[in-house]
Amino acid sequence: MANRYLLEQVFSYFGLVFWSLQLAPQAWKTYKRGTSTGVSVWTMFIWSLAGLFMGVYNIGLNVAIALWIQPQLFTFIAVICLMQEFKYQYHWSNLKTTFGFIIVCLVLGALEVGFLFAYKRAESDNNQGALRLFGILPVIFILGGFLPQYYEIFRDKRVIGISHLFLAMDCSGSVFSILALVFSNSMDALNLANYIAIACLDL
C-alpha cells in the first residue's frame, strides 16, 4: 500500500510538471514570433474551460495534490495563450490584454469554486448522475479543444505556429498522469480515459 502511494505521488508530480506547463512553450513561441497565426483562439478558450472542470473533478475526487494543482496551472497558461490571440490577432493594447487576463482568471476562479460546492452537494446527496457529468465535462472540453486546431491545420494544409515541445510535454504529462491514476487507491475511469485520449491525439 505504501509503495502504491509513493508511486502515485511520484508519477503525479511528473505529470504536474509536464502536463500543467505544457502550454508554456506555446506561449513563449507565440511571444517570440510576435503573432499567433496558426494557433486557434477557440482551442485556447475551450481548454481554459477544460482546466476549470478538470480542477473541480480532481479536487472533488480527492486525488493526489499534484493533480489538484495541475489543472490550475494549465488553465492559467491557457488563458495567457488566449489573451495572446486577442493581442496579436485583434490588436489589443497591452493594458487591455492585461485587464482581460485578470478578468478571465477571476471569472474562472469564481466558477471553479461554485462548481466545487455543487460537486460536494451532489456527492453528499449521492447524485451519481451529477457526479458523472462532472467527470464527463473535462473529457468533452479537452478533446473538443483539439477540433478547432485540427480545422486550422486542415484549412492551411500545414502546421503553423504550433510548438512541437508543447505537444511532447502534453503527451508526456498525460502518460505520467495515467500512471499516477493506475497506482491510486481508486482509479477513476473517466479521468483515465481523458488522459489516454489526449496522449493519442498528440501523436
Q: How many CB atoms lie within 10 A of CB 126?
A: 8
Query: For 162, what's the count of Cα atoms within 13 Å in the CB-facing half-sphere?
Result: 21
Residue 160 Ramachandran class (φ > 0 left, ψ -120 to 50 alpha, else beta): beta
What's the longest Cα–Cα distance across the chain?
55
Tens of pLDDT, residues 94-138: 999 999 999 999 999 999 999 999 999 999 988 988 888 888 898
Domain encompassing residue 52: 2-202
Question: For residue 8, is pLDDT > 80?
Answer: no
Question: For residue 2, is pLDDT > 70?
Answer: no
Domains in the chain, number: 1
Tens of pLDDT, residues 43-79: 999 999 999 998 998 888 887 777 788 889 989 999 9
Q: What is the pTM of this model?
A: 0.81
On average, the pLDDT of the chain sits at 84
Q: Closest by alpha carbon to 108, among 40, 27, 53?
A: 53
Question: For residue 194, is pLDDT > 60?
Answer: yes
